[in-house]
Each structure stands twice: as structure tokens, then as C-alpha cells.
Amino acid sequence: MKAVLEYWPAFAQGLWVTVWIAACIILGAALGAIILGALRLSETLAIRVASMLFIEAIRAPSGLVLLFWVFYVLPLLPGMPRLSPLTAAILVLALDGAVYGAEIVRAGIESVHRGQSDACHALGLTKLQSFTSVVLPQALSQIVPAFGSLARGMIKWTSIVSFIGVQDVLYVANFVRGQTYETVTVFCLLAAVYWILTVLCGIAFSTLERVLPLNRALRASRASIQAGPELNASAGVAS
């Protein structure tokens, strides 16, 4: 264990790279999921079909195959850029998360009653205004919990970035294992790191879920309903 702890600066650097990648891909996936989820519900048939084909094309291969394709194959095509390992990792994992999150967003949007959109149309709001100001804020109460589970999985997805040379915590762990031969200690420490990261991610999304406007309104409504019988009972005793 002492030999492993001598490499703690390298572990700290690898952990920072993992956290940075995880934060970038979760935010990127969230934005991409909202866009793709909205396109899946477009009234234009061509847009719906194109978005569906794009989602299925990205979901079909595994994340590792897609990562290898973008990093190794894409630069071989005429006019295509050669991406750095970090850029390729963030791009692929964010895109992979976006296509899975798109179905979560689609289901969340469909859970909002159609009358909300009709009311917005009657008030003269554009489709974009209706979506961003009325529909999406209500749908978030359904989207955030499910996306939180996806985000925890995405943190574990970051482990594949070491295959293209990104020096994340797994890359460092394998290096330290080769130097110290402390296989059990190193991989127990690695498992603890991923466990802590996923727990922290779950706490963050649970907190976000609690502060959503619709959820706060529902809690306030339940509190007022529960307080009603108590107030009536107190009034009866006082009389």
C-alpha cells in the first residue's frame, strides 16, 4: 500500500482528467439529448426520420468501437481532421450519451399534456417559446431522474478513454500496477474512486430534482393538503 501511495500525485492528476471528462460529456449529452429529443417529436416527417436514423446509427456500435473509429479511422478520410485523444473522447462519449438521453427527453416531453402546447398557441407564443418556457420546464421533472441514472453510467463510460491514450485514472492505475505489482490494492482503490464519483453524481442529480420548479410546487401543494386537516382539528379544539 505504501508503494502505491507514493504515486498519489499521478492518481490525483488522473482523477482530475476523469472528472473533467465526465463533467464535459454529461453537460454535452444533456444539451444534445434535448435537441435530439425535440427533433424526434417534430411535426415534419423528414426531420423525425432523420433524427431517428441518426440516433440509431450512433447507438448501433459500442462506445469503444465508435471511439476507435473517430480517433483512428476518421483522420484517414480525405479532409477529415485528426482530433486529440481528449477531444475525441469527449466528443464520442457526449454524442453517445446524447442519443440515449434523447429517448428520455422524448418520453418526458410526451408526458406533458398536449393542452399546454395548445394554450401556448392560443396565447400567440411561438413553438420555440412554448417549448423552452412551458413544456420543457414541466418535462424536466420526468427527465432529470432518468437522466441522472444515465449520467452515473456515463461516469463509468470514461474508463474506455485510456484505450486511445488519455491519461485518466484508469490509465494511471494500470501504470502504477505495472510499477508496484500491487494489483489488488490498485484496483480496490480504483473501484472506490468510481464508486465515490457515481455517488456524488447521484447526490447532485437528486438535489437538482428537488429544486425543479414543478417539484417544489408539488411539495408545497402536498404540504398544504396535509396541513388542512390539522388546521381544521385545531379550529375544532379551539371552539
Here the CATH number for the domain that contains residue 93 is 1.10.3720.10
The C-alpha atoms of residue 108 and residue 117 are separated, in whole angstroms, by 14
Mean pLDDT for the chain? 84
Amino acid at the residue 166: V
Residues 101/153, Cβ–Cβ less than 8 Å? no
Q: What's the rounded mean pLDDT across residues 163-189?
A: 88
Which of 19-33, 111-125, 128-142 is modeled with the greatest confidence?
A: 19-33
Residues 126/135, Cβ–Cβ less than 8 Å? no
Q: Which of 13-27, 78-92, 202-216 has the lowest mean pLDDT?
A: 202-216
The predicted structure's pLDDT at residue 129: 77
Q: What is the pLDDT of residues 102-111, one digit of tens each?
A: 999 988 888 8
Q: How many domains are contained in the chain?
A: 1
Domain span at residue 53?
A: 2-238
Residue 86 clears pLDDT 90, i.e. is over it: yes
Return the DSSP state at 69: I
Entry pTM: 0.84
The predicted structure's pLDDT at residue 108: 87
- Percentages helix, strand, coil for the chain (3-state, rounded to 5) are 85, 0, 15
Which of 1-5, 80-84, 135-139 is modeled with the greatest confidence?
A: 80-84
